[in-house]
Amino acid sequence: MLVCAIVLTITVALFAYSPTLPVTTVVIGIGTMLTVDFLDRRFAKPRLRSRDEVAEILQGVVDGFYDELAWNALIRYRIQDNELDKIRLRCAGLEQDYPARVSGRLLSEAGEDVLREIIKDLERVE
């Protein structure tokens, strides 16, 4: 976010100087942000998460009181435990497969049913 603000400020300043410089600056800024995002996803160390922690995040989504930052961190970063990482990958596609039809919810009722099954599986294995 800070990078966006800096790029926007530089772009506005350069626009007063020359109309072609802002375009170049924006292209370089976007390229830089995409590169940093890719490298962060690719080379970030897998997170250490417990089954309880994953189940708690999923339960928050089902209850409608989820922490958006926790959810995004869960689906974005790999998890050391391979079984939990498979769950993460499954959850990552749920927003597209089961879009919410109610404001304030993350998933549709069918998507929340999928999460309930995953939570049951997490609790069964313990």
Q: What is the DSSP string of 8-19?
A: HHHHHHHHHH-S
Residue 1 is predicted with a pLDDT of 56
Residue 15 is predicted with a pLDDT of 67
Q: Is the pLDDT of residue 117 over 90?
A: yes
- CA end-to-end distance (rounded Å), the chain: 39
Residues 30, 64: one domain?
no
Could you list the residue range(s) of the whole structural domain that residue 104 is in?
Answer: 51-125
pLDDT tens figures, 53-76: 999 999 999 998 888 899 998 998
Residues 64, 12: one domain?
no
Whether the full predicted model's pTM is greater than 0.85, yes or no, is no
What is the average pLDDT across 16-22? 68
What are φ and ψ of residue 67, in 5° steps? -90, 110
Domain count, the chain: 2
Q: What is the DSSP string of 68-121?
A: HHHHHHHHHS-BSSHHHHHHHHHHHTHHHHSB-SSTT-SB-HHHHHHHHHHHHH
At 48, is the secondary structure helix, strand, or coil? coil
pLDDT tens figures, 20-48: 766 777 777 788 888 877 777 677 777 88
Residue 33 is predicted with a pLDDT of 81
Query: Cα–chain-centroid distance for residue 51?
Result: 19
Residues 11, 32: one domain?
yes
Residue 11 is predicted with a pLDDT of 67
Nearest to 38 by CA among 76, 95, 86: 76
State the average pLDDT for the chain. Answer: 83
